[in-house]
């Protein structure tokens, strides 16, 4: 093992000599590039059973793997390396060895390399979209290609922000110069989920790298392949050890990463329950942590709202094309009593027009639930709703008729009417295509109901009245509030929740400075 690191050190020294000597527009790595592979099955096989550590695809220390299953067919499409503490140790050791030299580059130079990664990933955008489609069951056209675009946007945006990593001068005494410096944390441990793995990887890796850190990522066990390919592609530009990718289960792989003494910051996206465990691990070491957790996001449709636009917003905001597998999904839709029936009718017609089917089919709008466990969880919540007195299940769209998809994790989108804000379906995060449409009479009533939740991630209000809109924007207890629209998270828009929905922000320059650097105050006596 020592010989490996000695060789890496020699290569690394040569790399940085080339960087320091090269003009800004010089390609650092000039070797042959990996070719685009649009055969998702073949690509999955080529990546099977591997981590990405120190610039190489390597098997797990134990030699163990686990199956990667297509949710559309329940067929095994590949293997993932079953990581444990030994793999975490190898990845962190590699990151630690590489980070010191990486931090010596100017922020602009680091940003240039990260932006170059973005341009390379853009060349592979269709390949990555197809790979994430295979392993997650999300529809290629409506979900996977847009996610691939966000991925490349994030790399290019953060890459351009390198020059903004700077300190301040602080007025103090006339005979003293006081300034602040922004320095890297060191090693970032990132734990990402399966619903939008590429996008959420980018919001952690990109600012971490530009800020001068090395990154070790633990992928979601359900979606390890596309993010592994991203790390491999970026390895054609970035020096070895700076961007490492592990796969495995939470207790055996994620926990050792969050607990590792050399990991200075943990960035986690996932459930509240797991987030609390990870946060405790970081706190025990006094490491900093960012937590992007669950949501039960309210959507309020006032009496004066444009109903057709609100229906479009609900269809998009509920993330029906993603089977509702989004922490920002509008899973509580509060509709003024005068619009309620018309809204339900129009939304059903809207979702009925969406086709559920083969994720790779260009005609498909809605794909699958991610896994057997999540499939059963969603069905159990639907059963609870159907068993509730006074509730009505309004099923939308139609299950696919293709025989090859008969075993897939397909669930019809369901709207429940007749439930109130105290029902389990309105209070608990389902992470499936299930929403509650709840009547209300007054603005005060609906505002109180919207805020009556343990979560505070996202919220929307639909109204033509500017005063109402501004009042709601101030009073809604959510970190991401929209008026008359329901767009997804995008690079450049500060993202993060209140209450049980998390701690910290992502996706912006401010988030990079606050969460991926350390602020040092320097006092210089001029006498």
Residue 34 burial (C-beta neighbours within 10 Å; 0-12, 13-18, 19+):
middle
CA distances from 114 to 67, 158, 274, 508, 527 (A): 31, 8, 30, 15, 43
Question: In whole numbers, what is the pLDDT of the chain averaged over residues?
Answer: 94
Flag whether pLDDT at 15 surpasses 50: no
Average pLDDT over residues 250-256: 98
The rounded distance, in Å, linking the Cα atoms of 350 and 330 is 16
pLDDT digits (tens, 9 = 90+) for 158-172: 999 999 999 999 999
Is a pLDDT exceeding 80 seen at residue 471?
yes
Condensed to tens digits (0 to 9), the pLDDT of residues 405-420 reads: 999 999 999 999 999 9
Q: Which two tokens stand for residue 265?
A: 């910051």
pLDDT at 489: 87
Sheet holding 187-191, edge to edge: 56-58, 51-53, 243-246, 214-218, 187-191, 265-269, 288-292, 502-503
pLDDT for res 26: 32
In CATH terms, the fold of domain 37-293+504-520 is: Aldehyde Dehydrogenase; Chain A, domain 1 (3.40.605)
What are the pLDDT digits (tens) for 321-340?
999 999 999 999 999 999 99
Q: Which residue has the tokens 């080529």?
A: 46
- Residue 24, pLDDT score: 40
Residue 275: per-residue pLDDT: 97
Give percent of the chain with pLDDT exceeding 70.
94
CATH of 298-490, one of 3.40.50.720, 3.30.56.10, 3.40.309.10, 1.10.3330.10: 3.40.309.10
Distance separating alpha carbons of residues 97 and 320, to the nearest angstrom: 44
pLDDT of residue 5: 40
Could you tell me which of 348, 355, 331 has the C-alpha nearest to residue 140? 355
Cβ 43 vs Cβ 229: under 8 Å: yes
For helices 40-47 and 125-136, what crossing angle results, to 10°? 80
Is residue 329 within 8 Å of 363, Cβ to Cβ? no
CB 85 within 8 A of CB 252: yes
- Position 522 scores a pLDDT of 97
CA distances from 365 to 69, 242, 296, 345 (A): 21, 37, 23, 20
**Residues recognised as catalytic:** 292, 327
* Mean pLDDT, range 294-298, rounded to an integer: 97
Closest by Cα among 320, 144, 303 to 225: 144
Average pLDDT score over residue span 213-227 = 98
What's residue 29's pLDDT? 52
Q: What is the C-alpha separation between 133 and 139, in angstroms, rounded?
A: 6
Query: 350: pLDDT confidence band, cut at 50, 70 and 90?
Result: very high
C-beta of residue 247 within 8 angstroms of C-beta of residue 84: no
Residue 354: what pLDDT?
A: 98
On the question of pLDDT at 488 being above 60, the answer is yes
Q: Does the pLDDT value for residue 115 go beyond 70?
A: yes
DSSP run (H or E) holding 71: none
C-alpha to C-alpha distances, 526 to 154, 172, 173, nearest whole angstrom: 43, 12, 10
> Any idea what DSSP says for residue 397?
S
**The pLDDT value given to residue 3:** 47
Q: What is the mean pLDDT of residues 14-40?
A: 60
Please report which confidence band the pLDDT of residue 32 belongs to, taking 50, 70 and 90 as the band edges: confident
Q: What is the mean pLDDT of residues 267-288?
A: 97
Give the pLDDT confidence of 142-156 residue by residue, as tens digits.
999 999 999 999 999
Distance CA(103)–CA(294), nearest Å, equals 34
Tell me phi and psi for residue 328, to 5 degrees. -95, 5
CA 338 to chain centre: 37
Q: Where are the domains of the chain?
A: 37-293+504-520, 298-490
Can you tell me whether residue 386 is helix, strand or coil?
Answer: helix
Mapped onto helix, strand or coil, the DSSP state of residue 455 is strand
Question: pLDDT at residue 97 above 80?
Answer: yes
**pLDDT for position 309:** 98
Rounded Cα distance, 470 and 487, in Å = 18
CA distances from 427 to 21, 332, 424, 503 (A): 58, 9, 5, 20
User: Is the model's pLDDT at 12 over the cut of 70?
Assistant: no
Report which secondary-structure segment, H or E, holds 516: helix 509-516
Residue 294 phi/psi, 5-degree rounding, is -85, 180
Residue 224: C-alpha distances to residues 132, 157, 332, 418, 440 (Å): 9, 24, 31, 40, 43
* Confidence bin at 264 (pLDDT 50/70/90): very high
């Amino acid at each position: 093992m020592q010989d490996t690191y000695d060789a890496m050190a020699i290569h690394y020294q040569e790399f940085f000599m080339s960087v320091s000597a090269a003009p800004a527009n010089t390609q650092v790595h000039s070797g042959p590039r990996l070719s685009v592979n649009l055969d998702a099955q073949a690509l999955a096989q080529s990546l099977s059973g591997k981590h990405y550590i120190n610039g190489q695809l390597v098997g797990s220390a134990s030699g163990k793997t686990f199956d990667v299953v297509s949710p559309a067919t329940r067929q095994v499409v590949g293997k993932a390396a079953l990581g444990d503490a030994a793999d975490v140790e190898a990845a962190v050791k590699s990151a630690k060895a590489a980070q010191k030299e990486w931090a010596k580059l100017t922020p602009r130079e680091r940003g240039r390399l990260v932006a170059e990664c973005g341009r390379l990933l853009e060349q592979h955008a269709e390949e990555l979209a197809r790979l994430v489609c295979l392993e997650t069951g999300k529809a290629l056209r409506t979900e996977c290609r847009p996610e691939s675009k966000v991925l490349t946007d994030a790399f290019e945006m953060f890459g351009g922000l390198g020059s903004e990593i700077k300190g301040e001068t602080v007025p103090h005494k006339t005979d003293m110069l006081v300034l602040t410096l922004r320095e890297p944390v060191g090693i970032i441990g990132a734990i990402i989920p399966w619903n939008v793995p590429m996008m959420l990887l980018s919001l952690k890796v990109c600012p971490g790298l530009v800020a001068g850190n090395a990154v070790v990522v633990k992928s979601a066990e359900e979606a390890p392949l596309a993010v592994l390919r991203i790390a491999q592609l970026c390895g054609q530009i970035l020096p070895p050890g700076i961007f490492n990718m592990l796969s495995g289960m939470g207790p055996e792989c994620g926990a050792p990463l969050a607990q590792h003494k050399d990991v200075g910051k943990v960035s986690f996206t996932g459930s509240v329950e797991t987030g609390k465990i990870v946060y405790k691990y970081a706190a025990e070491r006094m490491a900093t942590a960012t937590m992007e957790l669950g949501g039960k996001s309210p959507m309020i449709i006032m009496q004066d709202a444009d109903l057709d636009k609100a229906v479009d917003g609900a269809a998009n905001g509920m993330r029906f094309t993603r089977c509702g597998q989004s922490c920002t999904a509008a899973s509580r839709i509060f509709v003024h009593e005068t619009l309620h029936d018309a809204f339900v009718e129009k939304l059903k017609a809207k979702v009925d027009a969406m086709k559920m089917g083969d994720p790779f089919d260009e005609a498909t709008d809605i794909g699958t639930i991610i896994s057997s466990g999540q499939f059963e969880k969603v069905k159990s919540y639907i059963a609870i709703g159907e068993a509730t007195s006074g509730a009505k299940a309004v099923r939308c769209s139609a299950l696919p008729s293709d025989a090859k998809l008969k075993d897939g994790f397909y669930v019809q989108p369901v709207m429940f009417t007749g439930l109130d804000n105290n029902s389990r379906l309105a209070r608990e995060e389902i992470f499936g295509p299930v929403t509650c449409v709840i009547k209300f009479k007054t603005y005060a009533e609906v505002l109180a109901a919207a805020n009556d939740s343990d979560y505070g991630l996202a919220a929307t209000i639909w109204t033509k009245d500017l005063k109402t809109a501004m009042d709601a924007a101030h009073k809604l207890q959510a970190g991401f509030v929209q008026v008359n629209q329901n767009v997804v998270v995008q690079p450049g828009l500060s993202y993060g929740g209140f209450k049980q929905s998390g701690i910290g922000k992502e996706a912006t320059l401010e988030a990079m400075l606050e969460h991926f650097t350390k602020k040092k105050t320097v006092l210089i006596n001029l006498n």
